[in-house]
A and B are shown apart, each in its own frame.
Chain A
Amino acid sequence: MTHGTQRAKEPVAVVGVGQTRHAAARRDVSLAGLVREAARRALDDAALDWADIDAVVLGKAPDFFEGVMMPELYLADALGAVGKPLLRVHTAGSVGGSTALVAADLVAARVHGTVLTLAFEKQSESNAMWGLSLPVPFQQPLLAGAGGFFAPHVRAYMRRTGAPDTVGTLVAYKDRRNALRNPYAHLHEADLTLEQVRSSPMLWDPIRYSETCPSSDGACAMVLTGRTGARRAPAPPAWVHGGAMRSEPTLFAGKDAVSPRAGRDCAADVYRQAGITDPRREIDAVEIYVPFSWYEPMWLENLGFAAEGEGWKLTESGATALDGDLPVNPSGGVLSTNPIGASGMLRFAEAALQVRGHAGDHQVPQARRALGHAYGGGSQFFAMWLVGAEPPGA
């Protein structure tokens, strides 16, 4: 069915990774200053300059967060996009991942040699809850806030699997401890104890305060290129072994909100591309989008790291800790840093840092293959990639 002259895809390498210092409010920079901080670091990491970039792909979540409609237009100058293609992606919370995948496709399709991809959110310009819950006439208002949207699904997971109600706090404690090793992370709670997590206020029972993500200002950027660019790179790249997006409707009859089929299908596609048959054994580090602690065990099942109903046991066993055999969110994850539009790209970028051996104090020793995961909307949009230290097929 495919055209006869078609060549194989160009292998895609991540040669530059940059992120901002994340904080509740980055009052020291403008929107442009924020994205530049991440972009400049990614370029420096790749030893490239603006002129080396052929195209820019930018993603962020709803424009209402900053009150700038299609902010890529205003940011074009800051991103060196004048005279170049500049593409804006928006797929809700998964957007950071989707944006990276669109950029990767530009290289894979040989449309461009070297692409800068970037995602950001400066939530302090407005208020995340305002941006997420603009009242719509005639619609019944959501009666519970963001956590209330997800808490019933957590309860459904607990009912389905019989997980003890302490598992979520283990995740929150682990991720906040990991964040202490990540200088860019928003939350650095050095004195936090597991007991404090367990006794933090119950906001949306069964979700406690310490089990929720913060609201952050931040940006993440990556430089993607093909084999030629990778050869010139000053440091070992991360190679993209597989990438996929999957979507399902927001609400529908028969939806499994605990383990959405779109997530399962997306992971299966990525593993097929990467030749992964046993993710638990073959993947060394995982960065998954966990905005509420319980989503770690839920996604572990959804992504095939644990059998259905067994994800919480993996978490409880300590396997997902930094020194476990399947470290999950060594960076501290979304629970420690959450500039919404950038959160997905941070997962993708942290996975790349791991296989490049560039993750610093939160490096997983000898990480050769890592998964980056993002999701959004009503657990309906998924984007994932699997990166490796070796070129695909090597």
Chain B
Amino acid sequence: MTASAQPAPLSAPLTVEFPFTRSLGPVQSAFLTGLRERTVLGARTAGGRVLVPPPEYDPGTAAELRELVEIAPAGTVTSWAWNPAPRRGQPLAAPFAWVLVRLDGADSGLLHALAAPGPEAVRTGARVRIRWAGRRTGAVTDIACFEPDTESDAGSAGERAGEPGADRADAPWPRPHAAAFADPVTAVTLPARLEYTHTPGRAQTRFLHALAERRILGERCPGCRKVYVPPRGACPTCGVATAEQAEVGPAGTVTTFCVVNIKAKNLDIEVPYVYAHIALDGAGLALHGRIGGIPYDEVRMGLRVEPVWTEGSRYPDHYRPTGEPDADYDTYKDLL
């Protein structure tokens, strides 16, 4: 069989989604619980700098940070960017500014969103304050966003905040704080969802198109002449492209197997069942499949099987015995 024209490329959505559970450790627990209580905590380093949000370890010295102090819920914009088309998951649905804010009493910037009517309303040095979320759970999103702080936006505060140490003498921030809260948050659940478009590649596309006609099409390596099924576009031992197509099967030999007694999530198969490696006739290696049409405890290495196709399924639903005599071990021992 020779190479045929490349069929139209296939693609399909691929969603990677999980609600990750994150245990916090003491510092992050205190900070996020603080947000729930509308309190902003920072970490004081041995050098006297106050970092917000509080890292667990000093970025400069790697020292463990444990001394927490309270910081003002208002501060000064140190940089900003206008986001005209917010993405899924970002703090605000309407266009907003990303801001780095140095809260009064802090020496580092906190990244969050600033609600503003347009980029002309935002500037570096602007005074902003936290707008708290209505429902707070102990997460960085308990800060709904920042909003302009009209009361203290006189410009002078901004300049003062720009001089390290100068603001410390006359400002009340940072304040001592015990960082102890009732019912502290010790873990957060943070769902994450990413959407991809998966394209299986040319070799697999050729294979999948043949599967739709219930043919199992491998590809032969021009070097070692082995037939790969499913084909992957390259012979993995020779490192060259495969393109010559070779139909294999439909019958094959069970080379090894296990009996599955534990129900896997997302699989609607009654246990026990047999999961087997099957070397289709003509293939250079085994593929995987379920064995049916025979009691699970009668399946054996060397059993001859053939695919059983069902409507609406891309792959054979399972393989069943052909009734031929078992294959001799020596004929398949290199195909386990």
Does A192 reach chain B (CB closer than 8 Å)? no
B265 near A: Cβ within 8 Å? yes
User: Please, how many angstroms separate the alpha-carbon atoms of A127 and B19 in the complex?
Assistant: 10
Contact between B258 and A155, CB atoms less than 8 A apart: yes
Give min CB distance, B105 to chain A, whole Å. Answer: 21
How far in angstroms is the closest Cβ of chain B from A163?
14
Interface size on B, residues (CB 8 A): 69
- Is B124 an interface residue when CB atoms closer than 8 A count as contact? no
A322 to B200, CA, bound (A): 49
A28 adjacent to B23 (CB under 8 Å): yes
Let me know if B267 and A143 touch, CB within 8 A: yes
- Contact indicator B290/A66 (Cβ below 8 Å): no
**B236-261, CB under 8 A of A: which get 1 and which 0?**
11000000000000000001111111
| Residues of chain A having any CB pair with chain B under 8 Å | 25-33, 36, 50, 64, 66-67, 77-80, 82, 124-127, 129-130, 134-145, 147-148, 151-156, 159-160, 201-207, 249-258
Contact A27 B187 (CB under 8 A): yes
Is B79 an interface residue, CB under 8 A from the partner?
Answer: no
* Contacts A25-B23, A126-B18, A137-B12; A79 near B285 (Cβ below 8 A): no
Given contacts A77-B62, A206-B258, 16 further A-B contacts (CB under 8 A): A26-B23, A32-B25, A32-B57, A36-B56, A125-B20, A137-B12, A140-B289, A141-B267, A143-B273, A144-B264, A148-B275, A204-B259, A250-B236, A251-B285, A252-B236, A252-B237
Contact of B62 among A30, A50, A152, A201 (CB under 8 A): A50
Q: How far is the CB of A66 from chain B (nearest CB, A)?
A: 7
> What residue in chain B is nearest A81 (Cβ atoms)?
B62
User: Judging by beta carbons under 8 Å apart, are A143 and B260 in contact?
Assistant: yes
Q: Which residues of A contact B8 (CB under 8 A)?
A: none
Let me know if B64 is at the binding interface, CB within 8 A: yes
A17 to chain B, nearest CB (A): 19
Evaluate contact between B288 and A29: CB separation under 8 angstroms.
no
Given A27-B186, A66-B20, A152-B275, the answer on whether A203 and B262 have CB atoms closer than 8 Å is yes
**Complex CA distance for A50 and B21, rounded to whole angstroms:** 30
Q: Please tell me if the beta carbons of B20 and A29 are within 8 angstroms of each other in the complex.
A: no
Residues 1-31 of chain B, each 1 if its beta carbon lies under 8 Å from chain A, else 0: 0000000001011101010111111001000
B91 at interface, CB cutoff 8 A: no
Say how far A202's CB is from chain B's closest CB, in angstroms. Answer: 5
Min Cβ gap A298→B in Å is: 13
Choose among A67, A77, A138, A202 the residue that contacts B10 (Cβ–Cβ < 8 A): A138
A-B contact pairs, 8 of them (CB 8 A): A28-B23, A50-B61, A77-B62, A137-B200, A138-B314, A151-B258, A155-B258, A252-B237
- Write the nearest CB–CB distance from B233 to chain A, whole angstroms: 13
- Hey, which bits of chain B sit against chain A, CB under 8 A? 10, 12-14, 16, 18, 20-25, 28, 55-64, 186-187, 190, 192, 198, 200, 204, 208, 224, 226-228, 235-237, 255-262, 264-267, 269, 272-273, 275-277, 284-285, 287-290, 301, 314-315, 329, 333-334, 336
* Contact (Cβ within 8 A) B56 A30: yes
Write the chain B residue with the least CB distance to A64. B16
A80-B260 in contact given A125-B21, A126-B20, A152-B277 (Cβ < 8 Å) = no
The listed residue (A32, A137, A206) touching B14 by CB distance below 8 A is A137
B277 proximity list for chain A (CB < 8 A): 152
Q: Using Cβ atoms and an 8 Å threshold, which residues of chain B touch A156?
A: 255-256, 301, 336
From B56, which residue of chain A is reached at the shortest CB distance? A32
Which B residues touch A151, using CB under 8 A? Answer: 258, 275
B213 to chain A, nearest CB (A): 16
Q: Is the CB of B14 within 8 A of A78?
A: no
From the candidates B12, B13, B57, name the one contacting A77 in the complex (CB within 8 A).
B57
